[in-house]
Structure 1
Amino acid sequence: MESQQSHNKLHVVFLPYPSAGHMNPMIDTARVFAMHGVNVTIIATHANASTFQKSIDSDFNSGYSIKTHLIQFPSAQVGLPDGVENIKDSTSSEMYLKITRGVRMLQDSIEVLFKELQPDCIVTDMKYPWTVESAAKLNIPRIHFYSSSYFSYCAIYFVRKYKPHYNLVSETQKFTIPCLPHTIEMTRLHLHNWERENNAMTAIFEPMYESAERSYGSLYNSFHELESDYEKLFKTTIGIKSWSVGPVSAWANKDDERKANRGHIEKSLGKHTELLNWLNSKENESVLYVSFGSLIRLPHAQLVEIAHGLENSGHNFIWVIKNNKDEDGEGFLQEFEKRMKESNKGYIIWDWAPQLLILEYPAIGGIVTHCGWNSTLESVNAGLPMITWPVFAEEFYNEKLLVDVLKIGVPVGAKVNKLWTNISVEEMVRREEIVKAVEILMGISQESKEMRMRAKKLGDAAKRTIEEGGHSYNNLIQLIDELKSLKKSKALDNKKD
């Protein structure tokens, strides 16, 4: 009876892309599906699975039907050491290209796995456009998982369609993105290089966006109250079916232990005691949290400007620095860390921080963010306003959402969209600009108070939307019911044949 019951259960396979910004929200989404009665299989390589397997085992032991199916990453074939399987592990452009080549080489074995697993639906990252054909061969729906905002997708769509950035007199001349509900001005320098002009990257990115239009629908880690205008635009004008089920990080990680270790090989909560004690010693809303996500490693000269900017602002801060201490040739950062410890004004975290846990502490009053969608959504969920410092990819679009639409962001003045490895001295953000942005965000002006109020209101909405009866909750249930109906219809059609 039990095997018959599990056979009748809806089976959904999730295929995440091995980069933290893509993988973490998809793993959380997969876990939320399992928590609502779906039989879930996640396909991942060994090293990537090690960062989330403890959560999967815990869910499984709690009675949810969820498992990881491991596949072998072709490390030797692409010339990488064992265990280097995630984009965040790349320390050079050469290593980045080797990892992406290794991921592409997995296609055949993943397609074989799809056939073996015989799922009722596949949810795959946008970076696997070929899975549209895989799903068609199996006669099942393919759901496109977009790991950023509706706003960024819509903006990219209309920039691609109408090319408002062509024929401008200079790289810094502003243009308006057509067809959006708000007036959004950008420059060519804000665009990803494949959008500015056709190049080798265009041929890689175009199919990713086109695959959304050829899918059964799109799944978004967002919520109605945050981007309702752009959710509507995506569904109506662009014409793609979609479901917002975010913020999934809050939905899937409700206890402190999980918040402390999300997206990382698990450590004991006790490892963070010193940090949490430091936070507890600070007044409410007095600490600025500074983090540039899992990928970005800023050049040393920019780190020096950040250090001076934070110190000169006079505010308490926590700063997560990705660069290895050994790269600090002058010993500047270590000297700075020592000085901040003595003054008790700043707390430096090297490499990785328990961000979900930190953001919820009452002492945190705001965040400096690169505008990656995960950090943005986690900050919104915590009700925090942001200093926006986009670096590359779609981050400059997300900045516009935060600053011009939601009005919960203060721009620091980043001007050029390019990989962090190529940032030149001329393009750096100076300490004076950092101080100015911190004073607006953490200050006591009317503008600052109103920004904090708007952020708190969105934080409340983020918590309500995943509760029973909320928008995201209802969207998830509706999608699961729809997929169950498709499974039943297919079974009936097979019986007739």
Structure 2
Amino acid sequence: MEQDAKSYGEIVNSFLELEYDYAVHWRDVVRRKSWLVGPVALCNEKGIEKSGRGGGNTSIGTEEILQWLNSKHADTVVYICFGSVANLNISKEQTIKIAIALEKSNRDFIWVVKSSNEKCYTDWLDEFEKRMHKERKGLIIRGWAPQLVILNHPAVGGFLTLCGWNSTLEAISAGVPMITWPMNGDQSFNEKLVVDILQVGAAVGAKVGGPYFENQQLIEVETIKSVIESVVGEGVEGEAMRKRAKVLKEKAKAAVQEGGSSYSDLKSLINELKARRL
């Protein structure tokens, strides 16, 4: 914190239109320099850049994923990914409840399961995967997933996420509403921004546990199913979220283009650093 207080300022992966009041507060009340240069994910405009971001071992190739998504209607697929660390802390019992909720919701889905999480590799999950694959209802990706490619596909209508900032901003940049399930750190604050302020998501009701995802309470099947249906369903609530999410997507794209707020902030940062060098 001492070093932070001595720094020249912060470069932030965000954009002014997303959290205007907070940016102004930081500048005028906290009196800290900051440059909002995001969403940085929008720098990956080429397909190979999107598919390769954070690349690792995966059980299903990008082309196969895209072919499956191409067979689905717009805004109908749920994408589930809890990131790298959280996946290791999701119990077998919670994994089963998520699977049952997905099947009962009757929504198509792509579910990323961390390959090193042996607790999730049960005969039950293997059997569930085979049944969903046969019915063409769902894909289970074991390991890394091309998240930017998936989120930016028009078939994806909802993202079940723990609300890490990178994933949150990637969903906003893609215009995808979120099903929020925070587990640690700043994720509960990000959830409040998504659900209460921006109104582009709905919460499953998870309470953040200890510093290492301790004491996570079980979220029941009917709760998960209900929130999935509210976001990805055909009701008024889901439709309103999708409209707001698409408006934010356009604002995000405009921010990083020439003349946009993030473009201007990056230009300002470069000019200030050059002036200090002189």
Fold-level similarity (TM above 0.5): yes
Paired residues of 2:163 and 2:187 also in contact (CA < 8 A): yes
Bigger-Rg structure (1/2)? 1
Report the 3-state secondary structure (helix = DSSP H, G, I; strand = E; otherwise coil) of the residue aligned with 1:479. Answer: helix
Indicate which of 250, 255, 263 corresponds to 2:54: 263
Most deviating of 291-300 and 448-457: 291-300
Paired residues of 1:212 and 1:240 also in contact (CA < 8 A): no
What's the TM-score once normalised by structure 1's chain length? 0.53
Paired with 1:214 and 1:233, the residues of 2 have a C-alpha distance of 19
Per-residue CA shift, 1:419-448, capped at 9, x if unaligned?
A: 565345xx1111111001011101222222
**Residue 465 (structure 1) aligned with residue 255 (structure 2):** yes
Per-residue CA shift, 1:69-107, capped at 9, x if unaligned?
A: xxxxxxxxxxxxxxxxxxxxxxxxxxxxxxxxxxxxxxx
Unaligned stretches of 5+ residues in structure 1: 1-206, 489-497
Paired residues of 1:322 and 1:350 also in contact (CA < 8 A): yes
Paired residues of 1:325 and 1:334 also in contact (CA < 8 A): no
Distance verdict in 2 for CA 1:334–1:323, change over 3 Å: same
What's the TM-score once normalised by structure 2's chain length? 0.94
Paired with 1:347 and 1:420, the residues of 2 have a C-alpha distance of 28
Q: CA deviation at 1:458?
A: 0.1
Indicate which of 11, 27, 31 corresponds to 1:235: 27
What is the match of residue 208 of structure 2? Answer: 416
Indicate which of 275, 287, 297 corresponds to 2:77: 287
Paired residues of 1:391 and 1:419 also in contact (CA < 8 A): no
**Residue 475 (structure 1) aligned with residue 265 (structure 2):** yes
Report the 3-state secondary structure (helix = DSSP H, G, I; strand = E; otherwise coil) of the residue aligned with 1:422. Answer: coil
Superposed counterparts of 1:122-133, under 5 Å: none
What is the match of residue 152 of structure 1? Answer: none
Paired with 1:486 and 1:302, the residues of 2 have a C-alpha distance of 53
Report the 3-state secondary structure (helix = DSSP H, G, I; strand = E; otherwise coil) of the residue aligned with 1:410. Answer: strand
**Residue 347 (structure 1) aligned with residue 139 (structure 2):** yes
Report the 3-state secondary structure (helix = DSSP H, G, I; strand = E; otherwise coil) of the residue aligned with 1:225. Answer: coil
Paired residues of 1:290 and 1:317 also in contact (CA < 8 A): yes
Report the 3-state secondary structure (helix = DSSP H, G, I; strand = E; otherwise coil) of the residue aligned with 2:112. Answer: strand
Q: CA deviation at 1:327?
A: 3.5
Indicate which of 207, 221, 229 corresponds to 2:13: 221
What is the match of residue 140 of structure 1? Answer: none
| Equivalenced residues, count | 275
Distance verdict in 2 for CA 1:423–1:344, change over 3 Å: farther
What is the aligned-residue RMSD (CA, Å)? 1.8
Unaligned stretches of 5+ residues in structure 2: none
What amino acid sits opposite 1:443 in the alignment?
Answer: G
Paired with 2:130 and 2:57, the residues of 1 have a C-alpha distance of 28
Q: How much identity, in percent, do the aligned residues show? A: 44
What amino acid sits opposite 1:292 in the alignment?
Answer: F
**Residue 395 (structure 1) aligned with residue 195 (structure 2):** no
Q: CA deviation at 1:328?
A: 4.0
Q: CA deviation at 1:464?
A: 0.8
**Residue 337 (structure 1) aligned with residue 129 (structure 2):** yes
Higher relative CO (Cα under 8 Å, sequence separation at least 6) belongs to 2
